[in-house]
Amino acid sequence: MENKRPVMQYESDIWAIADYFISAGIKQSDFPKFMMPFFALVMLESRMRKVMHRLEVEDGLKRGDADFAEAFRDEDCGYNAFIVEQGKMLADICKSDTTFEQDFKQYLQGFDEQIKMLLGINRGTSEAKFLNIEGIVGELRQKKILLGVVKEWAKIDLEPYDNSEITTLEEHIKRKWADISAETAGEQYTPQDIIGLISDIAEMMMQRPKNKYLHIYDPTCGGANLLFGVADRLKKSYPQIATYGSEWNDALFALASIESRFRDESKIRYGNTLTEYPFADKEFDLVVANPPYGTPWKGFQKEVYSDERGQFKFFPSTSDGQLLFMQHNLARLASDGICIEVHNGSSLFSGDAGGGENNIRKYMFERDWVDAIIQMPSDEFFNTNIYTYLWIFNKNKPASHRDKVMLINASELYYPLKKSMGKKRRQIDPKDHAPLIVNALREYKDCEIGKVFDKWHFYYNSQELTLIESDFQHGSVCDTVCPDLAPFEIKDVKQLTLLEKENERTEQRFDKFQKLSDEEYAALESALESWHADYGLACETPEGTALYYKERNTGNFVYTLNNEVKFLGKGRLNWKFGHQKKAGTHSVKFIIEPLTQSDYEIIPYSPNEQENEANIQAFLNKYVIKKYIRRTNTPGIKINFNKEFYVPEVLPAADKIMSEISGLENELKSIVL
C-alpha cells in the first residue's frame, strides 16, 4: 500500500468506461445515471475488503469462519454474503463469461436489505429508485455491453485509500456528472479549496471542548462531500465527530448514505429538508451548507406556510429557497453553535424593505447572529462563474463582536488553474490565501481585505411619500383649494352635482364618444366660474375639446378631458365626470382631486428613534422639493460589497492629459505633412 498510485489517477480510468456508452448510442447527458450505481458498487466492495483485511490482520480472524462473518456484521458498514462468506469480488465473477450473469445476480442479491434499497435492487413499483442499478443493468444487458462495463469497473481498486481520499475522488466524478447533465448552478458540489476554508474558519471559531462530541449537520448534503470533507479536516482537533445530513435527490442520497455506512456516528436522511424537519430532536454545534441557488419552492409552498415548528419567521420569494434554508439552519443551531453557508449574491440584497427577504435579514441582524460575510472569487465553483459568499453565523459572539459585522473581500485571493474544471477557473491557495482570511476573522478589525462595521450601518429607512403636483411657482392645491385641511385629508376636494333627476334613466347620455349635452356643459362652465370667484382659480380648457365616455372597473361612467384641469398659478388638479347611481336617483358629478404620485426615499438609519426621525426630516427638507405627505417608514437591510470596497479610479493630472493630447496633435501633423 505504500506504493499506491494517487487516487485521482482513477478519474481518467473511470471516464474511459464512457467509451462503452458512446459505442452503444447512450446520450452523454445520461452517462451519470449509468455510472453512479457502479461507482457505488466499487466503493462498497473496496471498503468491505478493507474491513475484511483489518479483521484478518488485527483480530486474527479467518475468512469463511462464522466468527469472521459475525465480526464483520458488527462493523455495521453493510454486508454482502457473496463477498464476506464466499470471498468473491467483481473481478472474480468477470473471469467466466458463462457464469457471469448468474454470479453477478448473486453478487447483487448478497447485499443486506438497506444497501439493496439504496442500490435499487428488488425495488417495488411505488418505491424510490435511488441508484436504480437493476434498471441500468437491464439496459446494459440489452445493449450487450454489461460484461465489458463490469470488467472495467472491477479494475478500480479503492481499498488502499482512506475515507477522505475516496471522498475527494467521488467529488470530482460527481462534478463531471453535473457538468454533462446541466444541473443547477453550483448545486451540491463544493470544491475542495472552499471545503478547506470552511473547515479552517470553523476550527478557529469553535469554542467547544475538544474532548466532547462535535455534531455537524448539512441540510442539503448532496453526496456529502462538504459534510464529510469538513468532518475529515476537523478530526485531528475533534476526535469524536458525529455527522448528519439530509438530501432529496435519489442518487445523491444513496451515495451519501452508502458513504455514511463506513463512518462512525453518521446518519443521512432522505426527504425534503424544509418540510420534513430531519433530526428534530437534535441541535448542532456546526452547520455547513451549500444550498441550491435560485431553486423555486412553490411546489411545497403550502407545507412551508403551515410549518408549526417555528423555523420560518418570514418567507422569501417562491422563486428562490436559499433564505428558507438559512432560517432552517439557524433554527437547528445550538445556542453556542457556528453556521457557515455558501450563497449567491441575492441573499445580500434581494427584496424591498418590509418584504420577506429583507425581513429575514432583519431578523438575523436583530438577534446579532451575523458575525461575518466573505466574498469569494468568481469562477470558483464547478457549475457557475458568479461571485459567491460565505455567511458566518455565531449564536454566541464574543463581547468584542457584538452588534458588529465584518465584511471580507477575498475576491482577489486566488490563483488561476492551469486547466479549468467545468466553470471553475480559480482556486484559493490553502497556504497563501486561506490563512489571510482566517487571520482577518480572528483579529476582527479593519485590515487590507476586511472592514468591521456596526450592524446598523447596513440598515436604511424606506420612507414612503405621496408627492403633490405643483405649478412652476411650486404652488400646489394644498395652498389654494383647501388651505385649512391637512394634506392627507385632500381627496375629492370639490364635488358638483350637474344633474340629479329622480326616477329618470340617464345612462343613454353616456354612450361611447358622446359629448356632454349643452345643459351639462353650461353647468360645468358656470361651476368653474364660481370656483374661480371663490378660490381665485383660473381654469384653462382647450376650446371645443370633447369629453369622452370611459368605463372603469367600478361600473361608473366617466368623461375625461386630458385627465386634468390646470388652475393657472395655483397648481394642478385631477378632474373627472362620474355617473353615480343611488336609490331612485341618477346624478352626474364633476369631481376635483389633487394630482399626486407615490415615491420612496432611501434614507440613512439610526437605532436611536429621535435621531432617526431627525435624519429623515432633514433629508426630506433638503432633497424633496414638491409638497408631500409622509406615509409609512419601513427599516430595511442590504449589504453591498461593491459600495463598501469601492476604490475610485485615480485619473491622471490635467497637465499630463494635455501633454498627451499635444503629443497626439503633433504626431497627426507630421503624418499629414
Give the H or E element holding residue 179. helix 163-181
- What pLDDT, on a 0 to 100 scale, did the predictor assign at position 380? 82
- Greatest mean pLDDT range, 19-28, 333-342, 425-434: 333-342
Pairing of strands 266-270, 241-247: parallel
The average pLDDT across 253-260 equals 92
Adjacent-strand bridge partners of 551: 557
The average pLDDT across 264-280 equals 94
Measuring CA to CA, how many Å separate 411 from each of 100, 376, 386? 54, 5, 11
- Cβ contact 558:523 at 8 Å: no
- What pLDDT, on a 0 to 100 scale, did the predictor assign at position 80? 93
- pLDDT over 90 at 177, yes or no: no
3-state SS class at 510: helix
Q: Which residue has the higher pLDDT, 405 or 47?
A: 405
Q: Which residue has the higher pLDDT, 513 or 451?
A: 451
Adjacent-strand bridge partners of 588: 499, 579
- What pLDDT, on a 0 to 100 scale, did the predictor assign at position 503? 37
CA–CA gap between residue 241 and residue 639 (Å, rounded): 34
Q: How many residues does the chain have?
A: 673
Q: Where are the domains of the chain?
A: 7-154, 163-448, 470-594
The average pLDDT across 488-497 equals 40
- What pLDDT, on a 0 to 100 scale, did the predictor assign at position 140? 96
Q: Which residue has the higher pLDDT, 540 or 328?
A: 328
- What pLDDT, on a 0 to 100 scale, did the predictor assign at position 215? 97
pTM flag (> 0.85): no
Q: Which tens digits make up the pLDDT trace of 319-360?
A: 999 999 999 999 999 999 999 999 999 999 999 999 999 999
- What pLDDT, on a 0 to 100 scale, did the predictor assign at position 125? 64
Could you tell me the three cell numbers for 653?
493630472
Least confident among 110-119, 452-461, 621-630: 621-630
- What pLDDT, on a 0 to 100 scale, did the predictor assign at position 128? 77
Measuring CA to CA, how many Å separate 153 from each of 149, 608, 627? 6, 67, 77
Adjacent-strand bridge partners of 247: 270
3-state SS class at 485: coil
3-state SS class at 175: helix
Least confident among 85-89, 416-420, 437-441: 416-420
3-state SS class at 30: helix
- Cβ contact 216:242 at 8 Å: yes
- What pLDDT, on a 0 to 100 scale, did the predictor assign at position 508? 40
- What pLDDT, on a 0 to 100 scale, did the predictor assign at position 629? 84
- pLDDT over 90 at 652, yes or no: no
Least confident among 129-138, 272-281, 515-524: 515-524
> End-to-end distance of the chain based on CA atoms, in angstroms?
80
Q: Which tens digits make up the pLDDT trace of 504-528?
A: 444 443 333 234 556 655 665 565 5
- What pLDDT, on a 0 to 100 scale, did the predictor assign at position 517? 57
- What pLDDT, on a 0 to 100 scale, did the predictor assign at position 580? 52
Q: Which tens digits make up the pLDDT trace of 352-403?
A: 999 999 999 999 999 999 999 999 998 887 667 789 999 999 999 999 999 9
pLDDT category at 471 given cuts 50, 70, 90 is low
The average pLDDT across 33-41 equals 91
Give the H or E element holding residue 529. helix 518-535
Residue with cell 411619500: 465
Measuring CA to CA, how many Å separate 248 from each of 118, 273, 274, 307? 13, 8, 10, 18
- What pLDDT, on a 0 to 100 scale, did the predictor assign at position 198? 97
- Looking at domain 163-448, what is its CATH homologous superfamily? Vaccinia Virus protein VP39 (3.40.50.150)
- What pLDDT, on a 0 to 100 scale, did the predictor assign at position 669? 80
Q: Which tens digits make up the pLDDT trace of 562-597?
A: 334 444 334 444 444 444 555 554 444 545 555 678
CA–CA gap between residue 380 and residue 192 (Å, rounded): 10
- What pLDDT, on a 0 to 100 scale, did the predictor assign at position 8? 85
pLDDT category at 30 given cuts 50, 70, 90 is confident
The amino acid at 624: V
Q: Which tens digits make up the pLDDT trace of 282-317?
A: 999 999 999 988 889 999 999 999 998 999 999 999
DSSP 223: T
Least confident among 95-104, 510-519, 524-533: 510-519
Pairing of strands 241-247, 214-218: parallel
- What pLDDT, on a 0 to 100 scale, did the predictor assign at position 220? 94
The average pLDDT across 252-257 equals 92
For 363-417, give the DSSP string. Answer: HHHHTT-EEEEEEPPSS-SSS--S--EEEEEETT--GGGTTEEEEEE-TT--EEE
CA–CA gap between residue 594 and residue 477 (Å, rounded): 6
- pLDDT over 50 at 668, yes or no: yes
- What pLDDT, on a 0 to 100 scale, did the predictor assign at position 475? 58
- What pLDDT, on a 0 to 100 scale, did the predictor assign at position 374? 98
CA–CA gap between residue 623 and residue 601 (Å, rounded): 10
Give the H or E element holding residue 459. strand 459-468
- What pLDDT, on a 0 to 100 scale, did the predictor assign at position 536? 44
Could you tell me the three cell numbers for 286?
456546526
Least confident among 57-61, 109-113, 417-421: 417-421
The average pLDDT across 173-194 equals 64
| Mean pLDDT, the chain, integer | 82
3-state SS class at 302: helix
Could you tell me the three cell numbers for 506?
340617464
Q: In degrees rounded to 5, what are phi and psi of residue 505? A: -80, 120
Could you tell me the three cell numbers for 539?
381654469
- pLDDT over 60 at 487, yes or no: no
